[in-house]
């Protein structure tokens, strides 16, 4: 058993790889369930009540995935032929199958932002004038923490300002808060406090919080009632899913208070990486559990490709993912402790002493 655990790979590909804890499995086994399409699953109802309470909202709704919860929010706030403003590397734009267009019928209107953090000056020029033959801006979407910018965090004053100005021109704002508890931890603030001005908020139970399945959408009672209809339309009406929600409840109550450990591990990893020749990143920018680093030329040798380094690390039981030709993402989570981080660093240092693969020279 112990040797099997020692041989398990150090999996830094994503915080989605976390497995349910013994407490979650116990709660799943013991969950009281009912038919949720009839609103009769007490465990799902409890999870929804707790999520609404924690976010200081009227209501919440349980989803099988974050993508479905984001799509539901988009489809609920918009109609076909309208525009959704988001950051150019946004998850809804790049990693959700183009569902905002394919299913909600919306046109994405994107703008790149430094560190993925939008502000009103970047958003305002994208808002369409009220001319009858122009596609209208129906929704603004922000992502906190920003996944593909390395887990960056919105200063609450910036996201509050965007929401206030958007509301002044009649546009709702949805938050993709897949990792909002990581943002709250980094800021030392509560999730209700930093998301209070958004019209709807999605967050994942299945990322750093460690649940096997599930995401939540929170908002007003009226919005959530409309979202429930959209969820059913998308095939997301579930029956005795309280067995899953039970793990989600444990995740929601227990895990947020330990996320700072993942952040400390990510910073430790970043500081170690920054000392390795051929790797470029600024450890001070690593404030949550995601880091993305660049592979750079060293002493006249070309930069290693991410595909090559990822493959060499996999041979040493360290798993991570390429995000570009010369960039790699690593994500810390509760299945990777400090010892594993140090082992990963040793493996990376070894791999980076190899010459660039002949094929790429
Ligand atoms: C993971 C993630 C989602 C939702 O993903 P699912 O895999 O569909 O649960 C949404 N937004 C961001 C930023 C994410 O990282």
Distance 173 CA to ligand 1 centre (A): 18
Nearest to 329 by CA among 337, 338, 320: 320
At which of 206, 239, 254 does a domain end? 254
Distance 361 CA to ligand 1 centre (A): 36
Q: 218 with 181: CB under 8 angstroms?
A: no
Residues 45 and 135 in one domain: yes
Compute the distance between CA of residue 301 and CA of residue 298 in angstroms, rounded to an integer.
Answer: 5
pLDDT digit of tens for each residue in the chain (361 aa)?
A: 444 455 689 999 999 999 999 999 999 999 999 999 999 999 999 999 999 999 999 999 999 999 999 999 999 999 999 999 999 999 999 999 999 999 999 999 999 999 999 999 999 999 999 999 999 999 999 999 999 999 999 999 999 999 999 999 999 999 999 999 999 999 999 999 999 999 999 999 999 999 999 999 999 999 999 999 999 999 999 999 999 999 999 999 999 999 999 999 999 999 999 999 999 999 999 999 999 999 999 988 899 999 999 999 999 999 999 999 999 999 999 999 999 999 999 999 999 998 776 444 4
Distance 202 CA to ligand 1 centre (A): 9
For the Cβ of 64 lying below 6 angstroms from any atom of ligand 1, the answer is no
Compute the distance between CA of residue 51 and CA of residue 251 in angstroms, rounded to an integer.
Answer: 11
Domain housing 196: 31-254
Compute the distance between CA of residue 150 and CA of residue 88 in angstroms, rounded to an integer.
Answer: 14
**HSE-CB of 234 using CA atoms within 13 angstroms:** 25
Looking up residue 188, the CATH number of its domain turns out to be 3.40.640.10
DSSP 116: G
Own/partner long-range contacts of 353-359 (Cβ < 8 Å, ≥24 apart): 354/312, 355/301, 356/301, 356/302, 356/303, 356/304, 356/305, 356/308, 357/304, 357/305, 357/308
For the Cβ of 288 lying below 6 angstroms from any atom of ligand 1, the answer is no
Compute the distance between CA of residue 132 and CA of residue 62 in angstroms, rounded to an integer.
Answer: 37
Residue holding tokens 């005795």?
240
Q: Report the pLDDT value the prediction gives residue 245, as an integer from 0 to 100.
A: 98
At which of 234, 254, 274 does a domain end? 254
Q: Report the pLDDT value the prediction gives residue 7, as an integer from 0 to 100.
A: 65
Q: Report the pLDDT value the prediction gives residue 359, as an integer from 0 to 100.
A: 45
- How far the first Cα of the chain sits from its last, in Å, is 43
In-domain check, residue 11: yes
User: For the CA atoms of 206, 17, 271, 293, what is the dihedral angle to 10 degrees?
Assistant: -100
Number of domains in the chain: 2
Considering only CA atoms, which residue is closest to atom 6 of ligand 1?
66
For the Cβ of 65 lying below 6 angstroms from any atom of ligand 1, the answer is yes
Distance 16 CA to ligand 1 centre (A): 9
Q: Report the pLDDT value the prediction gives residue 5, as an integer from 0 to 100.
A: 52
């Amino acid at each position: 058993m112990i040797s099997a655990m020692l041989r398990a790979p150090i999996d830094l590909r994503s915080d989605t790889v976390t497995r349910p804890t013994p407490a979650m499995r116990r709660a799943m086994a013991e969950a009281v369930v009912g038919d949720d399409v009839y609103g009769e699953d007490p465990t799902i109802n409890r999870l929804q009540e707790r999520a609404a309470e924690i976010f200081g909202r009227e209501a919440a709704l349980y989803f099988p995935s974050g993508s479905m919860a984001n799509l539901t929010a988009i489809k609920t706030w918009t109609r076909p032929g309208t525009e959704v403003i988001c950051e150019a590397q946004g998850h809804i734009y790049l990693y959700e199958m183009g569902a905002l267009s394919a299913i909600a019928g919306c046109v994405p209107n994107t703008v790149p932002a430094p560190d993925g953090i939008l502000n009103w000056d970047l958003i305002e020029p994208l808002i369409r004038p009220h001319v009858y033959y122009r596609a209208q801006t129906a929704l603004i979407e922000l992502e906190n923490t920003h996944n593909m910018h390395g887990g960056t965090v919105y200063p609450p004053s910036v996201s509050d300002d965007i929401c206030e100005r958007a509301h002044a021109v009649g546009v709702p704002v949805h938050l993709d808060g897949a990792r909002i508890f990581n943002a709250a931890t980094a800021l030392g603030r509560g999730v209700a406090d930093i998301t209070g001005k958004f019209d709807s908020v999605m967050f994942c139970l299945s990322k750093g919080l460690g649940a096997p399945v599930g995401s939540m959408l929170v908002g007003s009672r009226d919005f959530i009632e409309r979202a429930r209809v959209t969820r059913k339309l998308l095939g997301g009406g579930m029956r005795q899913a309280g067995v899953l929600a039970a793990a989600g409840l444990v995740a929601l109550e227990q895990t947020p208070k330990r996320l700072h450990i993942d952040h400390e591990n990510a910073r430790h990893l970043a500081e170690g990486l920054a000392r390795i020749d051929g790797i470029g990143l600024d450890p001070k920018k690593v404030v949550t559990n995601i880091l993305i680093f660049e592979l750079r030329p060293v002493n006249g040798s070309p930069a290693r490709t991410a595909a090559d380094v990822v493959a060499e690390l996999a041979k040493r039981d360290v798993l991570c993912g390429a995000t570009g030709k010369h960039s790699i993402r690593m994500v810390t989570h509760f299945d990777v402790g400090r010892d594993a981080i140090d082992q990963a660093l040793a493996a990376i240092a070894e791999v980076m002493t190899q010459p660039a693969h002949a094929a790429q020279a």
